[in-house]
A and B are shown apart, each in its own frame.
Chain A
Amino acid sequence: MSGFLEGRRALVTGGTSGIGASLVDRLTADGARVVFTGRDAGRGKEVADRSGATFVAADAASEEAVDRSVDLAAEELGGLDALVCVAGVIVDGTITQTSPGDWQALLDVNLTAPYLYSRRCLPLLRESGGGSIVHVSSDAGVWGEEEIGAYSVTKAALVTLAQMLAVEAGPSGIRVNAVCPGDILPGMLTTVSGRERPGDTSDWRVPPMGRIGEAADVAGVVSFLLGPDSVFVTGTALLVDGGMRASYRAWEANA
């Protein structure tokens, strides 16, 4: 697959861990030139050193940092062909257990940041004659999960954001898709209040494919959505969940 994305210039948000870090590895391996953002300079340097991508410290919750990181990416890469919004936060709890402060933080990072990044990047993609945007949503944005209620709300809205962008940017040759991963290891470890260690995952339900997903499974799909084989794919919400949301009772396949 080397060269699949040769010469493509991509900005990845939230690239210092989990799906985002795996994606930076994958896109650079595919030949893309990548700038990625994150909050943790130490982890940023690690990913930059091993992948050859460029790290820009930026908190997705800050509008100023969003604008600055887009400008820096465009300068570093000499333009932009792709944007992948991975940065996200999660909060455990039902709707009524979610504090107003956590709710707002979830909205800011999971929904408003992708809006701000998209809006800032669209003119750059147009200058390049087109491009591709991928928003990493969640299977919980398609069918929600009560125990991550507020997170599910932000991810559902994010799917519609991707679809609206797909419609309005289509005439400019810009594609916009949402990717909706199921349970992934290592996955979302970033909460509103900080980072957590992975908890006990032994009770996770296993999807029909017989295993929990890996970050690389998602990175491969995103790479496809940025590349030449997906030129007619836009406005989709692509589940990458091992079949878990194909049925009310998909986990019974391996029960």
Chain B
Amino acid sequence: MSGPDGLRILVTGGTSGIGRGVVERLRTDGASVVFTGRDAARGKDVETATGAIFVQADASDAAAVEGSVARTLEALGGLDALVNNAGMILQGSIESTPPAAWRELLAVNLTAGFLYSRACFSPIRDGGGGSIVHIASDTAIRGIPSIAAYSVTKAGVRMLSDMLALEGAPVNVRSNAVCPGDVAPGVQATPAGFSDHAEDPSNWTLPPAGRFGTAADVAALVAWLVCEEARHMNGATIRIDAGMGAGIAAGTAAGIAAD
């Protein structure tokens, strides 16, 4: 098999941003896709536009995670890949992050990825193998102090991916961490009580290549990672950031610009 054609894939957080881009790309490539999200209206939009199946689920709710995996298996008759994409972000330092927001960030960015991976691992394995792709962040490699708590959760996601890679290798379940730099439109959701992360990309520092990433840029990498062609990719941490993380000058500039 070459390409995602015919693969059965679950994408979490597929109603906007990178997740939506991934759903669109995988559908274009011929995959059968179920995607989750909290917003029913946006879910319907993506469903209509792509032909993917929307399952409403809040990633911070363990019961909703279990339920959405069960509905996915029912709808697709099995599973070949999981894309852990649902996430939220919060501006600020560690000290300015209140405990409730800290816990919500951990729940959505890290625990949901754990729960989804745990629930999907056996179905993927039992179907002959497949892959899990985690949408981490460039902050998983080096943190950005203006989104400090977010960075902590993403470092955890990267290690989660590595541990699943080791566990899955003998049974043909691969796990990789995709680490995007600034992508517009990117992650918008925030913990309760905080307004949307409506950061103006015009204030961002341009990467050395002169443009910001798009959801489609990231989706192209995801579409390759789920394929048989990427069978030797496991436990990889892949920056997709147009070079921002390649050296300290670019990375420092990004941190300062986001302050």
A interface residues with partner B (beta carbon < 8 Å): 63, 94-96, 98, 100, 103-104, 107, 111-112, 115-116, 118-119, 122, 141, 144, 146, 149-150, 152-157, 159-161, 163-165, 167-169
Contacts and interface: CB of A to CB of B under 8 A. Distances in A.
B167 A168 contact: no
25 contacts: A95-B163, A95-B164, A98-B114, A98-B118, A100-B62, A100-B115, A103-B111, A107-B111, A112-B99, A115-B149, A144-B159, A144-B162, A146-B167, A153-B156, A155-B159, A156-B158, A156-B159, A157-B155, A157-B156, A160-B143, A163-B142, A164-B94, A164-B145, A168-B94, A168-B95
B160 interface: yes
Interface in B159-190: 159-160, 162-164, 166-167
Q: What is the predominant secondary structure among interface residues of chain B facing chain A?
A: helix
Q: Closest 8 interchain pairs by CB?
A: A156-B159, A157-B156, A160-B155, A149-B163, A146-B166, A164-B148, A167-B145, A168-B93
A153 B159 contact: yes
Given A107-B111, A146-B166, A156 B102 contact: no
Given A95-B117, A111-B152, A115-B94, A63 B99 contact: yes
Given A107-B110, A118-B94, A146-B167, A168 B148 contact: yes
Interface in B72-129: 93-95, 97, 99, 102-103, 106, 110-111, 114-115, 117-118, 121-122
Given A95-B121, A98-B114, A100-B114, 6 more contacts: A96-B117, A98-B118, A103-B114, A153-B110, A157-B110, A163-B143
Interface of B: 62, 93-95, 97, 99, 102-103, 106, 110-111, 114-115, 117-118, 121-122, 142-143, 145, 148-149, 151-156, 158-160, 162-164, 166-167
Nearest to A140: B159
A112 B163 contact: no
A103 B114 CA distance: 9
A112 B103 contact: yes
Chain A CB count within 10 A is highest, among B102, B158, B162, for B162
A98 B151 CA distance: 24
A116 B94 CA distance: 10
B118 A95 contact: yes
A156 B166 CA distance: 16
A95 B160 contact: yes
Nearest to B142: A163
Contacts of B151: 160, 164
A150 B94 contact: no
Contact of B163 (A94, A111, A159): A94
A141 B162 CA distance: 11
Given A107-B106, A112-B106, A156 B156 contact: yes
Contacts of A154: 156
Contact of B167 (A95, A104, A159, A164): A95
B145 to A, nearest CB: 4
B153 A157 contact: yes
A152 B94 contact: no
Given A103-B114, A157-B156, A165 B162 contact: no
Contacts of A149: 163-164, 166-167
B156 A104 contact: no
Contacts of A163: 142-143
Contacts of B122: 96
B94 A161 contact: yes
